[in-house]
Amino acid sequence: MSDAPKLQEGAGWNAGVGARVAPSDRRGGTLRLVSSADVDSLDPARTYYVWVWLLQRLLNRTLMAYPTDPGPAGLVPVPDLAEGPGVASDGNRTWTYRLREGVLFDDGTPVTSADVRYAVQRIFAQDVLPGGPTYLVPLLDDPDRPYTGPYRDGVDGLPSVLTPDPRTIVFRLRSPFSDFDHLMAQPCVSPVPRHADTGARYGEDPRCTGPYRVAGHRPGSRLLLERNPHWDRATDPVRPALPDRVDVTIGLNPDDMDERLTAGEFDINLEGRGLQHAAQHRLAGDPVLRSRTDNPRTSFLHFVSLQPHIPPFDNVHVRRAVHHAADKVLLQEARGGPVTGGDLTTALFPPGLPSHQDLDRYPTGPGLRGDLDAARAELRAAGLPDGFDAVIGTQRGKFRLVADAVVESVARVGIRLTVKELDVATYFSQGAGSPETIRKHGLGMIVTDWGADFPTEYGFLAPLVDGRLIRPGGGNWNIAELDDPEVNRLIDTVLHTADPATRTDLWREVERRVMDHAVILPLVHDKTLHYRGPRATNVFVHPAFGLYDIQAMGVTETADRENDTV
Ligand code: ARG
CA atoms of 3 and 293, how far apart (whole Å): 19
Establish whether residue 185 lines the binding site of ligand 1, counting it when its CB lies within 6 angstroms of any ligand atom. no
Establish whether residue 338 lines the binding site of ligand 1, counting it when its CB lies within 6 angstroms of any ligand atom. no
Establish whether residue 362 lines the binding site of ligand 1, counting it when its CB lies within 6 angstroms of any ligand atom. no
Establish whether residue 451 lines the binding site of ligand 1, counting it when its CB lies within 6 angstroms of any ligand atom. yes
Q: Could you check whether 30-37+211-296+528-555 and 50-204 share the same CATH topology? A: yes
Q: Which residues in the chain land under pLDDT 50?
A: 1-6, 560
Q: What is the pLDDT of residue 5?
A: 43
Look at ligand 1, atom 11, and give the residue with the nearest C-alpha: 453
Q: What's the CATH code, domain 30-37+211-296+528-555?
A: 3.40.190.10
CA-wise closest residue to 246 among 268, 275, 278: 268
**Nearest ligand 1 atom, CA 449:** 4
Question: 557 C-alpha to center of ligand 1: Å?
Answer: 34
Tell me the torsion sign for CA atoms 463, 502, 495, 120.
negative
Question: 526 C-alpha to center of ligand 1: Å?
Answer: 13
Q: What is the pLDDT of residue 318?
A: 98
Question: 544 C-alpha to center of ligand 1: Å?
Answer: 12
**187-224 residue pLDDT tens:** 999 999 999 999 999 999 999 999 999 999 999 999 99
Are residues 424 and 396 in contact, defined by beta-carbon separation less than 8 angstroms? yes
Establish whether residue 399 lines the binding site of ligand 1, counting it when its CB lies within 6 angstroms of any ligand atom. no
Q: What is the pLDDT of residue 216?
A: 97
CA atoms of 288 and 294, how far apart (whole Å): 13
Q: What is the pLDDT of residue 356?
A: 97
Q: Which residues contact 397 (CB under 8 A, 6 or more apart)?
A: 424
Q: What is the pLDDT of residue 256?
A: 94
CA atoms of 22 and 240, how far apart (whole Å): 14
Question: 450 C-alpha to center of ligand 1: Å?
Answer: 7
Are residues 252 and 550 in contact, defined by beta-carbon separation less than 8 angstroms? no
**Nearest ligand 1 atom, CA 545:** 11
Question: 512 C-alpha to center of ligand 1: Å?
Answer: 24
Are residues 405 and 334 in contact, defined by beta-carbon separation less than 8 angstroms? yes
Establish whether residue 450 lines the binding site of ligand 1, counting it when its CB lies within 6 angstroms of any ligand atom. yes
**Nearest ligand 1 atom, CA 450:** 4
CA atoms of 521 and 302, how far apart (whole Å): 9
Look at ligand 1, atom 6, and give the residue with the nearest C-alpha: 451
Establish whether residue 453 lines the binding site of ligand 1, counting it when its CB lies within 6 angstroms of any ligand atom. yes
CA atoms of 403 and 5, how far apart (whole Å): 43
**Ligand 1 binding pocket mutation candidate from 40, 46, 47, 48 (most atoms within 8 A of CB):** 48
Per DSSP, the three-state class of 424 is coil
Question: What is the full DSSP assignment across 268-316?
Answer: EETT-----HHHHHHHHT-HHHHTTEE--EEEEEEEEEE-TTSTTTTSH
Question: 460 C-alpha to center of ligand 1: Å?
Answer: 10
Beta pairing partners, 226: 213, 245
**Nearest ligand 1 atom, CA 52:** 10
Establish whether residue 50 lines the binding site of ligand 1, counting it when its CB lies within 6 angstroms of any ligand atom. yes
Question: 545 C-alpha to center of ligand 1: Å?
Answer: 9
Question: 487 C-alpha to center of ligand 1: Å?
Answer: 23
Question: 355 C-alpha to center of ligand 1: Å?
Answer: 20
Domains of the chain by residue range: 30-37+211-296+528-555, 50-204, 299-527
Query: Measuring CA to CA, how many Å separate 50 from each of 39, 211, 365, 530?
Result: 10, 20, 37, 15
Are residues 341 and 529 in contact, defined by beta-carbon separation less than 8 angstroms? no
CA atoms of 258 and 38, how far apart (whole Å): 17
Q: How many CB atoms lie within 10 A of CB 114?
A: 15
Question: 422 C-alpha to center of ligand 1: Å?
Answer: 20
**345-402 residue pLDDT tens:** 999 999 999 999 999 999 999 999 999 999 999 999 999 999 999 999 999 998 999 9
Q: CATH number of 299-527: 1.20.140.10, 1.25.40.10, 3.10.105.10, 3.50.50.60? A: 3.10.105.10
Q: CATH number of 50-204: 3.30.465.10, 1.10.10.410, 3.40.190.10, 3.40.50.1980? A: 3.40.190.10
Look at ligand 1, atom 2, and give the residue with the nearest C-alpha: 451
For 71-109, letters b (16+ CB in 10 Å) and e give eeebbbbbbbbbeebbebeeebbbbbbbbbeebbbbeee
Q: What is the pLDDT of residue 498?
A: 83
Establish whether residue 40 lines the binding site of ligand 1, counting it when its CB lies within 6 angstroms of any ligand atom. no
CA atoms of 331 and 194, how far apart (whole Å): 51
- The pTM for the full model equals 0.93
Question: What is the full DSSP assignment across 56-71?
Answer: HHHH---SEE--S-SS
